[in-house]
Structure 1
């Protein structure tokens, strides 16, 4: 085990109260590149992958891979479990018609080929002989069932909303008919919620399907012990050939420091989401490697616009003026990120570089609060889950206290947190959004369209006709230049309405054992595939 001291950035007095020094790595000369903040985004993310042709069968040793995550999954039904922990698991169990390649281009997955017949008609020819984990062959009827089911599922219906109906021609040809043009449609098909299910398995399981999934992917479900671990095993009849890894187990370890220690001692092989405060410890340990890349995500504080006080745009603007975003970059992600300027991640096409964050101006914040009738301040409830976001909530609490806003922090286990915010119980929440489609529609439609309030993604409960009109217009605009401009204009509108305080853009960081082979960092979506991982003999 490497020995070192855990380093913390400067936090507010309240946030520092629980900080402790932990034993750990002391070596210099880590394995992830140079040490400046800018260069931390350009580590070995693209150099660690090893192609199949480089693997020598006689050199492969241990292939049971163990990872760790901070939160448990919600469901193994991909149209229900769209949160990051669930999506990571489902990424290994299921396939879609389409996947996004390293160049951000849509290519066939279950589809052997596809054709855009016209603006509203997409034809797909399925691969023959693809097996579900129960041994049944994938048929066009399963695709039709899956996509039409998605239209009825609260967490999937936004992605499936463009679909009018699906028609089949025999067992291997599918045509998706859209109600309107949708230029982002092929990218949307890459999302977890659009994966293809076995009609037979879902129908037979009914409401319990999410506990015993059947997919076509490289791994099959073995077991799930809630709040402890889940395990997948290799599916040897996978259509693209069996994976190298024979099993994948993810342990649920809420504390970031405990995950890092488990990595150091070899109890686990990889951490797919390293907490920023633990990154330097991994960098400084010769037995470990930290891989990092700017994530297609934004960390934000959402304000429930239906709640008293927050239903006034002046109060929401005041909260933006009271917030010092740089403090989050410096203390919460320890410089491994940058101030968020918009609700759209910087790496996503259509990000508007001209939108600027509200500067911290405490006097302006107090002035706006007084205009709104809150010169004596107001009390708000903050809902969060997880160690990092709990510390971020403490920073918010300290900053808003300077303008008379009292924040009561409520920390929940991940599942209970999801239930609470889906029900709209919160005044404020801190959360992150990962764009898994490489298209700007996914950064705004679920999060701000009035039809998606609550479980579908709009946890600010924003209802604004102009926002809806712009999202709808961009969704059907086939001229890409005009379409991206609509999204840029939309970001200006949202910056005025302030349903969020965009906090920071972070880096996706993976920590792994230095001798773990075959890991490939996914720069596009931050969902990393573990099926190629192995150790040499």
Structure 2
């Protein structure tokens, strides 16, 4: 049966579905041309940093809108976080929260008020409606409250108001203690923006993004490229790079070839044959590390056949996820998964893997018959147009047809259209991936809490009072061990509802020209080109 599936998919995709896995320790090349071994992390600086040059970065999907409160994908965030700054930030190794626009902060005894002192050397980029003025407390109040009220991803739903003490001090008020408030502030959806520009541009603000970050947006062309130029007045450091171009190249092999020919300097989110092409090329550096990530197939919980838990379990049992991962990630770009948390999260409980239904076609067929669909049914699987998702959908389509006689129509679209359909509960089944910070909140609350219904995370309508209770309790205590125990209970309850198939933990895989220096890879996949820890430069 497995051989039949792989054969069918191989013919459909024209690919060799190799079942071999690759080590994450791979050959790489430094700027000096010396062969090294890299398991993850960073390019190795060679020589003294120099100013000048343009860094061209390939994105595998097109950013739709760069307004911090409306963006939904990592493709947008890679640009936003290099144009704007947040109050606080994660250190590059994701081990701690560090100052950014806020130079320091204190917390009230009841943990419901955070007082932030702001830097006084932060300036907005010059725009159409203001001329590069100094950033002040009113701007922070406006930006954070705007995010709390309008964020498509509910990124600051834990705050009630922001109080201005003076030009460089604010107090953020929370209705109850929040163990994740500071972490939430680090998200690029919470960068500080000027009110004049937001109101002046209206719905078009995302196409003319203004922030305080190391680079200023010069040009945004939908589906093509975004050009950024150096901000000479950046508070953290003067950027070495003259400019950065984020170029949309959706085809992975084209990505790899563009890197090899010098058309681009940096390719992110690599999968498939492109990984092998770069791994085998002595002139290019391949950076790989386990990501804080899982890919999943999510079932509509409120309407259609998948509203029935027996149907959902049948679909899970009819799919061999280990073979699926071997077919989708032919060059070791991911590991099989089973839980809705990545192993890199401190809340991951390996013992819960045993609770996930295993591959059992016979049991799957029985469940489907009990649910009233002995002859299968027709459904639609919505995905974005990335190669890994297309490969996944094709394999899933074959498994469900063979084992359950379910006819799956694959609905492929660009990210903006896909995210709109998925977030509004308009998909029978949809598939995507999720990556964020090590704290389980950013996975579990954003995907399974009832307050997230209507956002991209909970577009399937997952709603369970017990899960809500556990997640709420975990949010208001600060002891990590106690929180981990609650999250373990929540994951157990989530799995019992059979909401989807959590099939892979993808690596963060980048291809980098050896002339790119001081680039640091993070487990969350975020690209930061300049901050107080890094300042990327080009070596000739």
**Normalising by structure 1, what TM-score?**
0.90
How far 1:358 moved relative to its partner? 2.2
Provide, for residues 193-244 of structure 1, a one-character-per-residue CA deviation record: whole Å limited to 9, x for no partner.
Answer: 2221112221222222111011010011011111111111111100012111
Aligned residue among 67, 72, 84 for 1:77: 67
CA distance in 2, matches of 1:379, 1:391: 20
Per the alignment, residue 344 of structure 1 pairs with: 341
Contact 1:97/1:111 (<8 A) preserved:
yes
Contact 1:299/1:433 (<8 A) preserved:
yes
CA distance in 1, matches of 2:286, 2:495: 34
How far 1:273 moved relative to its partner? 1.2
Contact 1:30/1:284 (<8 A) preserved:
no
Per the alignment, residue 18 of structure 1 pairs with: 13
Aligned residue among 260, 266, 272 for 2:268: 272
Contact 1:382/1:428 (<8 A) preserved:
yes
Contact 2:219/2:227 (<8 A) preserved:
yes
CA distance in 1, matches of 2:416, 2:94: 35
Provide, for residues 87-111 of structure 1, a one-character-per-residue CA deviation record: whole Å limited to 9, x for no partner.
Answer: 1111101111110112521111101
2:104 is aligned with 1:113: yes
Per the alignment, residue 282 of structure 1 pairs with: 278
Contact 1:72/1:85 (<8 A) preserved:
yes
How far 1:289 moved relative to its partner? 1.0
Q: 3-state SS of the aligned residue for 2:295?
A: strand
Deviating runs (4+, > 4 A) in structure 1? none
Which structure 2 segments of 5+ residues have no match? 17-24, 30-36, 127-131
Q: 3-state SS of the aligned residue for 1:128?
A: coil
Which structure 1 segments of 5+ residues have no match? 1-9, 22-28, 34-41
CA distance in 2, matches of 1:99, 1:478: 19
Contact 2:152/2:455 (<8 A) preserved:
yes
CA distance in 2, matches of 1:289, 1:407: 39
Contact 2:294/2:342 (<8 A) preserved:
yes
Residue 108 and residue 417 in structure 1: after superposition, are their counterparts in 2 closer, same or farther (change >3 A)?
same
Per the alignment, residue 123 of structure 1 pairs with: 115
Aligned residue among 247, 254, 278 for 2:250: 254
Provide, for residues 106-135 of structure 1, a one-character-per-residue CA deviation record: whole Å limited to 9, x for no partner.
Answer: 111101111122311111100012001021
CA distance in 2, matches of 1:271, 1:352: 33
Residue 156 and residue 411 in structure 1: after superposition, are their counterparts in 2 closer, same or farther (change >3 A)?
closer
Per the alignment, residue 180 of structure 1 pairs with: 176
Residue 494 and residue 314 in structure 1: after superposition, are their counterparts in 2 closer, same or farther (change >3 A)?
same
Per the alignment, residue 218 of structure 1 pairs with: 214
How far 1:15 moved relative to its partner? 4.6
| C-alpha RMSD over aligned residues | 1.9
CA distance in 1, matches of 2:455, 2:7: 33
Contact 1:82/1:192 (<8 A) preserved:
no
2:91 is aligned with 1:94: no
How far 1:359 moved relative to its partner? 1.2
How far 1:509 moved relative to its partner? 0.2
How far 1:420 moved relative to its partner? 1.8
Residue 486 and residue 212 in structure 1: after superposition, are their counterparts in 2 closer, same or farther (change >3 A)?
same
2:489 is aligned with 1:489: yes
Aligned length: 505
Provide, for residues 25-57 of structure 1, a one-character-per-residue CA deviation record: whole Å limited to 9, x for no partner.
Answer: xxxx97349xxxxxxxx934235243xxx7525
Residue 103 and residue 18 in structure 1: after superposition, are their counterparts in 2 closer, same or farther (change >3 A)?
closer
Per the alignment, residue 539 of structure 2 pairs with: 536
Provide, for residues 263-301 of structure 1, a one-character-per-residue CA deviation record: whole Å limited to 9, x for no partner.
Answer: 111111010111133211111101111100001010000
CA distance in 1, matches of 2:64, 2:87: 24
How far 1:481 moved relative to its partner? 1.8
Residue 254 and residue 232 in structure 1: after superposition, are their counterparts in 2 closer, same or farther (change >3 A)?
same
Residue 12 and residue 164 in structure 1: after superposition, are their counterparts in 2 closer, same or farther (change >3 A)?
farther
Aligned residue among 145, 149, 152 for 2:146: 149
Provide, for residues 395-453 of structure 1, a one-character-per-residue CA deviation record: whole Å limited to 9, x for no partner.
Answer: 11111111222211111122221222223221111100011x33110011111112212
Contact 2:151/2:189 (<8 A) preserved:
no
Aligned residue among 348, 352, 355 for 1:355: 352
How far 1:455 moved relative to its partner? 2.8
Residue 15 and residue 392 in structure 1: after superposition, are their counterparts in 2 closer, same or farther (change >3 A)?
farther
Q: 3-state SS of the aligned residue for 1:408?
A: strand
Aligned residue among 325, 328, 336 for 1:329: 325
Per the alignment, residue 464 of structure 1 pairs with: 464
CA distance in 2, matches of 1:355, 1:32: 37
Per the alignment, residue 422 of structure 1 pairs with: 423
Per the alignment, residue 21 of structure 2 pairs with: none
Contact 1:302/1:459 (<8 A) preserved:
no
Per the alignment, residue 125 of structure 2 pairs with: 133
CA distance in 1, matches of 2:505, 2:26: 24
Provide, for residues 461-493 of structure 1, a one-character-per-residue CA deviation record: whole Å limited to 9, x for no partner.
Answer: 112222222222211123322211111111111
Q: 3-state SS of the aligned residue for 2:160?
A: strand
Q: How does 1:39-54 map to 2 (within 5 A)?
A: 43-50=38-45
**Normalising by structure 2, what TM-score?**
0.90
2:441 is aligned with 1:446: no
How far 1:16 moved relative to its partner? 3.4
Contact 2:42/2:519 (<8 A) preserved:
no
CA distance in 2, matches of 1:400, 1:339: 19
More off after superposition, 377-386 vs 200-209: 200-209
CA distance in 1, matches of 2:448, 2:7: 32
Aligned residue among 300, 305, 312 for 1:309: 305
Provide, for residues 484-530 of structure 1, a one-character-per-residue CA deviation record: whole Å limited to 9, x for no partner.
Answer: 1111111111111011210110101000112322221123x211223
More off after superposition, 243-252 vs 455-464: 455-464
Q: 3-state SS of the aligned residue for 2:347?
A: coil
